[in-house]
Amino acid sequence: MDVICRNIMKHTGCSMVQAFLMASRNPAKAIGMDHEIGTIAPGKKANLVFTDDAFRIRRVMLNGTFRL
């Protein structure tokens, strides 16, 4: 996902937040699961990846539990 986000930012000039949103929301919509995953909202699965500005993974949350 880091390569996808870097390319989106490089070619569109969008922010990191916008790039992550495009890389998560759009695929969820494409597979018809945007009601369950892809964005942060009440009732959705809490699957999150926390990165620093260099896209290094700092923490991971799966189903609401921190794993890293």
User: 15: which residues sit within 8 A by CB, 6+ positions away?
Assistant: 9
* pLDDT score of 53: 87
pTM of the model: 0.73
pLDDT in tens, the chain (68 residues): 788 889 999 999 999 999 999 989 999 999 999 999 999 999 999 889 899 988 888 999 998 899 96
Q: What percent of the chain has pLDDT over 70?
A: 99
Alpha carbon distance 10, 37 (integer Å): 26
* pLDDT score of 1: 75
